[in-house]
């Protein structure tokens, strides 16, 4: 197993040495690439002495193979990881600028890409950087997002490189993941549903759709055929997914029930409205007295219906709670006949965030407390568990 480890110029560059060591311990061969500014923070010699391999620092370096080197590196690796990644390299990757070895390798590389950014909090929040991160995430790249804390510049906030252990674990997870879902059909629901009241008003919720879209991207990267049934969101459609846009809970139900019999794994991350207005007014409702009331009818619980009809599918539900998280989660797992439930404490403003604090409960009684993690990491873990369950279920059905 071989990866390329790109190191770019920021104060956290020295931590890439520990990442390289952690990977080597796990039996991964690491080709290190230092950008010019990274070499100002850490010397190539440090990496060379510890890896016993030539470190690439330059597009036109003497002593390297005579072949077109960025192509031969690209063809030989199972992953391109960039630790730490500066705002500069995010911009180059997002916009296809190839003016040094690392950015040129990026364009010639068919393997998955994992990026662990580190920078000042204002830079990380800057709209230009946010837009570049969105582009790269939509391209399906893995991110190990920076952590909040004290930064080298003296400021507090998000921007500090994630811990070495987290980065090494994520790289190993991605390497193991490969195309583990090849041949499987995965249905993901995402986003809010919207229940119209009249032509200008509706009932909805704060779901951004990020969790579901992240699961869909992760499943695509692992080779699954992915069906994404989504309520309205502002997220880019993951490329390669079969995208089914819906608006109301009733439309989501119809789309999901139609696909369900063919599916192997179903992840219901959508925040479905529990109620809808009894009547949709064709005209804008006019102001009446000081108070008004709206008559609501309950929508169907889609997940409950899926649980009842379940045959071969692995069914993963979510539970958004603001209190008594575990009690409600256990209840939902059982009542909806789920294999896995991701319980989410939504009292701390997770909507729209790239991270979340979740506990996963399985039908067989296991509890995995993931704590606060990037949604990409949660999606990876969720799919690992769902696949394990799918394989177990297949074996069980074969022996029956
Ligand atoms: N769900 C669904 N259809 C609904 C409501 C919820 O499929 N009409 C699914 C969601 O997609 C999620 C799970 O059920 O996977 C739990 O949703 P949640 O909103 O946490 O709970 P509810 O079952 O709606 O219960 P409550 O709102 O009372 O907590």
CB 194 within 8 A of CB 232: yes
Residue of 212, 310, 319 to mutate, ligand 1, most atoms within 8 A of C-beta: 319
Residues 6+ apart with CB under 8 A from 59: 70, 100, 101, 104
**pLDDT tens-digit readout, 280-311:** 999 999 998 889 999 999 999 999 999 999 99
pLDDT at position 59 over 80: no
Residue of 206, 256, 297, 318 to mutate, ligand 1, most atoms within 8 A of C-beta: 318
pLDDT at position 352 over 90: no
pLDDT at position 325 over 80: yes
Instruction: Give yes or no on whether 2-177 and 185-278+290-399 have one common fold.
Output: yes
How far is CA 259 from each of CA 66, 217, 228, 389, rounded to the nearest angstrom? 52, 19, 11, 20
Measured over the CA atoms of residue 155, residue 161, residue 164 and residue 167, the dihedral's sign is positive
CB 24 within 8 A of CB 2: no
d(CA 7, CA 30) in angstroms, rounded, equals 12
Catalytic residue among 26, 153, 182, 297: 153
How far does residue 303's CA lie from ligand 1's centre (Å)? 7
CB 105 within 8 A of CB 6: yes
Q: Which atom of ligand 1 is nearest to the CA of 270?
A: 11
**pLDDT tens-digit readout, 380-392:** 889 988 998 999 8
Q: Does domain 185-278+290-399 have CATH number 3.20.20.210?
A: no
Residue having the nearest C-alpha atom to atom 14 of ligand 1 = 303
Domain ranges of the chain: 2-177, 185-278+290-399
Give the pLDDT confidence score for residue 347 in this predicted structure. 80
pLDDT at position 25 over 60: yes
pLDDT at position 67 over 60: no
β-bridge partners, 228: 188, 243
Q: Which atom of ligand 1 is nearest to the CA of 256?
A: 7
Pairing of strands 2-7, 29-34: parallel
Which residue from 89, 138, 96 is spatially nearest to 115, judged by alpha carbons? 89
Residue of 215, 259, 301, 329 to mutate, ligand 1, most atoms within 8 A of C-beta: 301
How far does residue 319's CA lie from ligand 1's centre (Å)? 7
Backbone angles phi, psi at 171, to 5 degrees: -60, -45
d(CA 57, CA 46) in angstroms, rounded, equals 13
pLDDT at position 45 over 80: yes
Pairing of strands 340-345, 314-321: parallel
Residue ranges lining ligand 1, Cβ < 6 Å: 249, 268, 270, 272, 274, 299, 301-303, 317-320, 332
The model's confidence at residue 256, banded by pLDDT at 50, 70 and 90, is very high
Give the pLDDT confidence score for residue 178 in this predicted structure. 67
Give the pLDDT confidence score for residue 187 in this predicted structure. 98
Residue having the nearest C-alpha atom to atom 12 of ligand 1 = 318
pLDDT at position 64 over 60: no
Pick the CATH number of 2-177 from 3.40.1360.10, 3.30.960.10, 3.40.50.1950, 3.40.50.300: 3.40.50.1950
CB 186 within 8 A of CB 144: no
How far does residue 326's CA lie from ligand 1's centre (Å)? 15
Give the pLDDT confidence score for residue 8 in this predicted structure. 97
For residue 297 the two structure tokens come to 């009818």
Question: Is there a catalytic annotation at residue 10?
Answer: no
Q: What is the mean pLDDT of residues 205-219?
A: 94
Give the pLDDT confidence score for residue 332 in this predicted structure. 95
φ/ψ region of 198 (left if φ > 0, alpha if ψ in -120 to 50, else beta) reads: beta
């Amino acid at each position: 197993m071989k990866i390329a480890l790109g190191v770019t110029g920021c104060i956290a560059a020295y931590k890439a040495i520990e990442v390289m060591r952690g990977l080597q311990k796990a039996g991964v061969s690491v080709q290190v690439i230092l950008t010019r500014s990274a070499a100002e923070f850490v010397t190539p010699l440090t990496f060379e002495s510890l890896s016993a391999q030539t470190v690439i620092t330059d597009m036109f370096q003497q002593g390297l193979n005579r072949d077109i080197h960025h192509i031969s590196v690209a063809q030989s690796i199972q992953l391109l990881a960039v630790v730490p990644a500066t705002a500069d390299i995010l911009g180059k990757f997002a916009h296809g600028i190839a003016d040094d070895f690392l950015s040129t390798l990026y364009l010639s590389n068919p393997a998955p890409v994992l990026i662990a950014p580190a920078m000042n909090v204002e830079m990380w929040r800057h709209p230009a950087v946010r837009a570049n991160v969105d582009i790269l995430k939509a391209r399906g790249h893995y991110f190990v997002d920076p952590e909040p804390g004290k930064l080298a510049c003296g400021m507090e906030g998000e921007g500090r490189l994630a811990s070495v252990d987290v980065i090494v674990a994520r790289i190993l997870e991605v390497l193991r993941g490969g195309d583990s879902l090849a041949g499987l059909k995965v249905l993901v629901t995402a986003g809010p549903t919207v229940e119209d009241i009249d032509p200008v008003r509706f009932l909805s919720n704060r779901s951004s759709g990020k969790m579901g879209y992240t699961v869909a991207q992760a499943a695509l990267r692992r080779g699954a055929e992915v069906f994404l049934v989504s309520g309205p969101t502002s997220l880019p459609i993951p490329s390669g997914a079969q995208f089914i846009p819906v608006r109301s809970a009733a439309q989501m139900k119809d789309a999901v029930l139609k696909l369900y019999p063919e599916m192997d794994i179903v992840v219901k991350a959508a925040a479905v409205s529990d109620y809808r207005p009894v009547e949709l007014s064709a005209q804008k409702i006019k102001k009446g007295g000081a108070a008004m009331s709206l008559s609501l009818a309950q929508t169907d619980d889609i997940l409950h219906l899926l649980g009842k009809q379940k045959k071969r599918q692995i069914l993963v539900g979510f539970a958004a709670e603001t209190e008594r998280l575990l009690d409600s989660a256990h209840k939902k797992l059982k009542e909806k006949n789920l294999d896995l439930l991701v319980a989410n404490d939504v009292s701390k403003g997770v909507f729209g965030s790239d991270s979340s604090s979740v506990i996963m409960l399985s039908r067989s009684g296991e509890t995995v407390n993931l704590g606060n993690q990037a949604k990409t990491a949660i999606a990876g873990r969720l799919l690992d568990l769902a696949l394990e369950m799918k394989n177990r279920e297949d074996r069980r059905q074969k022996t029956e």
